[in-house]
Amino acid sequence: MNILQRWFLKRLRRYAESYVRGHGLLHTVKIHAPLVWEPTAERVVVLAPHMDDEVIGCGGTLYRHIQSGTEVTVVYLSDGRYGSKHQHTLAAAARRQHQADLVEIRKQEARLAMSTLGIQHGVFLDAEEGTLATSETLCQDVRRILHTIRPDMVYLPFFLEAHPDHHATSQVLLAAMQGSTLQFDCYAYEVWTPLFPNVLVDIQAAIEVKRQALQQYRSQISDHDYLHTILGLNAYRSILLLDARDAFVEAFFAASLQDYRDLYRTYVEALPHEHG
């Protein structure tokens, strides 16, 4: 990202602060239009709390990166063991076996999705789903990976995401980078919760590849119609492009690691605190 683009994003950060303080979730700002950005050949790491978040949140953008010669590594934080709505109907032993089988199914689906997008590297950290905020080893593993790869950009779910594992991913990243001199840009993506975007990526040329990658997650889309909802969100985001017709866009909140940390602190400080 060039100097002018960085200045523009820094300016947009001011408008994000009031949004974060207000705990806004669905917000479109046309006066301060987001930057339309072209992915380039940079070192990219994606933090995916679950297997499929990488495709849902930024699959089209990752494909465009790869077409530019980018090395992409996806780090899957959780093992996906609870990702089936039918588990509660099973007896304890059958449920444990079902969870073990599901972990392997999800990993195979993730490998197929990565292959579809052309992603070169995937790392499975196997934290128990639902425990990302309390895992003792996850921060250390993420820190080790980031210091090994030394990325230019890290994609992760925005911290206002409603899903607790998605929100916890920002906690994991910021804790992992505590005291580190490593610098990179954070590109926060949306899955369950639309965000305040300051960067847009036109993925019209990549939408069919994204659709194919999502279809690899058969165990996921059998429970949830992600093809309809996520591609619908990408179509909605194209309203921010001038004169767009039949377009698809992925939207991000981009900031330097330090600015992202500062905004996260702004959010935490704005939360109501219980008094004993």
Asked whether residue 224 is assigned to any structural domain, the reply reads yes
For residue range 7-55, what is the model confidence (pLDDT) as tens digits? 555 555 555 555 555 554 434 444 456 788 999 889 999 999 999 999 9
- Determine contact, residues 239/152, Cβ cutoff 8 Å: no
- Whether residue 20 lies inside any domain: the answer is no
- Asked if the model's pLDDT at residue 107 lies above 80, the reply is yes
Mean pLDDT of the chain: 85
Long-range CB pairs of 24-30, under 8 A, 24+ apart, other chains included: 24/160, 24/196, 25/160, 25/162, 25/193, 25/194, 26/194, 27/194, 27/196, 28/239, 28/240, 29/196, 30/240
Would you state the pLDDT for residue 210? 97
Q: How many domains does the chain have?
A: 1
**75 in a structural domain:** yes
Among 247, 209, 257, which Cα is nearest to 58's? 209
Q: What is the pTM of this model?
A: 0.85
The answer to whether 45 and 149 have CB atoms below 8 angstroms apart is yes
- What mean pLDDT comes out for the span 234-245? 86
> Is residue 22 a part of any domain in this protein?
no
Q: Kindly report the CATH number assigned to the domain that includes residue 224.
A: 3.40.50.10320
Task: Express each pLDDT in 74-97 by its tens digit.
Answer: 999 999 766 656 666 666 666 676
Q: Is residue 147 part of a domain?
A: yes
The predicted pLDDT at position 40 comes to 87
| 13 part of a folded domain | no
In a domain, residue 18? The reply is no
Report pLDDT digits (tens) over 216-232: 999 887 777 888 999 99
Domain range for 186 is: 39-270
Alpha-carbon distance 238 to 210, whole Å?
16
φ/ψ (deg, to 5) at 32: -105, 80
**pLDDT tens sequence across 117-160:** 999 999 999 998 888 989 889 999 999 999 999 999 999 999 99
Q: Which of 168, 148, 157 is nearest to 73 (CA)?
A: 148
Rounded average pLDDT over 185-199: 93
Closest CA to 44 of 176, 122, 149: 149
DSSP-derived pairing of the beta strands 185-189 and 249-256: antiparallel
